Structure 1
């Protein structure tokens, strides 16, 4: 008996446990919250910027696609003339007078009108002819935009009317089907138009293309760049189309630069600039997005992050105070109770440094340790022996049930005089029991469990022949793990006893390994079961004469591994049944390790 010393009643001065817990809670939780808040805020801002850039790039891509569609649609108009093999022949007539008049009246004019009628856009087509035997047909508008008057029309002129023009003399040499230019010529810039320029050639001699004419198709820039709308990019944004000389061809935006301005002189300060090169022309589509748009959204994210961190600080501080007060109160009660045991005959085994409540708890618990350890050991050994006895009883129940069914089958074979099948089944039965006994071990490797299943299938194959088909799909990685034996055979037996739907049955056995367990499935295409029957068979309090095999396997697995493992059923009438067996990933253990477990 340990006597109480006088100084035991004197309370040592130390920082209370509750205060320590509260301070530790704040240091370990609150500081990381603000660190994570800063990291999360940085990630969110970067993510928003990336998302916004992606959205802007996507919008520019849509605008680019619309522009390319308009350009290609205009090119299609010229293709109708360029690739018309008959047109060069007609334009090289060697007769004058009535013949050329008829060609012009009956072929050229309807052809040009047909080309213009293929589009509903305002388009001005001018065809310049090399052969001057054909008459010129053109309109005079007297400094008025012709597209505003007629909308869609064509002119026929001679090439000599443009052969001294600088833009015509600089036109590149012909590369069949590729040579064309988008340029602003003549009065295009004045009226906000742009023209597609292209030759008409005779392709009889591909190595020596002969020019028979020249085409100019004029359309409005506002038509080509109709989709270039700054509203798609946000308030205050500007969209620009610049040409090969870096001059502005088209602009959209309240503060957009004037037409013809040089890109290098445009003030892009305080703007995010995103550009895309158009595919077929030397034009560039650029978006100028004010930084204030991005800053406004990032400011919202910053404020939201601060609010969340501050609210978290308030909530966690309240929780920390409550938790520390809760535990400090209970620790104080435990200490006051443990002081009553200081006069008992207990031996110290744990040493705790410090002058606080935990030193008292450690001293008292060490004194109680020797007595409680002995009691716990006795209870544990008793429960372990009970558990092993229950496992042996359940294991003993499954074998007679299977043996009865197999002997019944052998009896029927003997009755009908099928001696060879009877002999084969007896030999297979002997092999099955040789594998099942396994020197009295109830825990075997999955490899041996599959051998037992195959032995059982060999027995039933003698009985059913080609009427039954069993397919295995088992990962090779799981065969070295351990399992309670006879967890697959009862379900294959159930299929052959109860699941026939017609004269054939197909069974598939799969084995897969997940992160924390091994899952077997036994699937059949038999008659299936109703949901009520599945619920009955899955009920641990089911009748003894129903679902015997399912209950036996499930009980053995849960008794050995716990409630997290066992058997589940899924079935549909007329479709079939799937049995799922879940076991832990256990490798072979030594007797010592099993005892420690």
Structure 2
């Protein structure tokens, strides 16, 4: 990533984070403000409605205590006094009527006659007044059709009804006072707050969910709109969330005193977005402006800083790719100083690496030669001693075989001073060794080589099989009688990118503890062994190929021992042999080498 890109990304990221925080904060604040404003409007509307209802109660009290309680129902002054009160509140009232318990009209203003239908005693307002005489009762809006008079048109009213004490010819009785309020007065209060164009609206319902006022009342009546007023009526005062017609909304409930009516304010979720559109536009413009400014600044920065750094970086990449370029030195003072420092560092590293490679190569060669030199003398002495005894014993034919095998063995051992030979030569060396040993041990054991010819042409550390075979003889099958069926099996194959050779014998075997110590410094070199043992072979393989390779020992008492040799499958070529002898591992077949 370039400095210019990084600068722009950091700047835009910071701006985005800041914008998101501002947007989130403003959205939350806007959300709270809209709810608080709605609650404030509803509080004022609640007070207006309660004031209106209180005025209706006062009118009802005035008729009850100042007129009905003072005059006998047969007194003509009763109707005259009721008329005076009616005229005082004519803008709010439609009518005032007084009924006896049987539903007969005693007096009314304006003066009208009562229809025979509907039956007054079956009206909800009449029944409620007589069933709960201590309360005043407010009805839902309805068309009043009790009176029969050409001048008295049908009106939409809200009825206040209450039980009152009347005197009929000086006899106390119970009657019902009905005050019909003009519904339009209530509607006007609510219409004033339903002018919001952001989708908010307010409606009024009774405690059962019957709608008293709704701005979409006509649509609801015709089934073109819906409102879950029953759910709202069942709620206590507070703020709630719900979904209607797949749209999330907030609704606020406030109870109107004296009536149990519920004033409900509804805020669709989309209403909250109206207040923050300008903020969104501002943030988008700010982001674009900042991005353009960042681009201009980043170009300036690139010209003075990033371009020299890019050229310096290209020099470094070329060096890492194996080239030897001249490190770029230019740009500002700091970048030039950095270029000089890198150039000096690379020169020092190159010299140091060459010195380390040389020292390691010399160390590996000296260590390997020291280990290798331990193998030959003891075995050579024993073999020559055996040949001497054969000649003296007249076994010239066996002596010739021994000398031929020994010559081949020594030729491969010398290998013109090479420490890396082919697997094929290592196997020839091992066969010669085993042929010599079989003669010495008078065929007391069998040897079988099961080698996949595919592995013949791969690199192998010289003389890794002989010490293992020697140990298999001395501590495995060498002490067994011919009838015991002693056997050593050598198998070899390629596994993935590795060469695997197994040497198995059916001799005495070892305990788990002994097997665990074979490849450690706790292993005791046996007096009859090659003087090197398995630790030597294991060390030489790891010295050449690394710690992932070497020997693995598996053994059980009386069940024999199996030793697995593993090393990488590197084709045998003069170039690869030279690299290995220099302490460098070439690419192995099907994999990757490293130096």
TM-score calculated relative to the size of structure 2: 0.39
Which gives a bigger RCO, structure 1 or 2 (Cα 8 Å, sep 6+)?
1
TM-score where L is the length of structure 1? 0.39
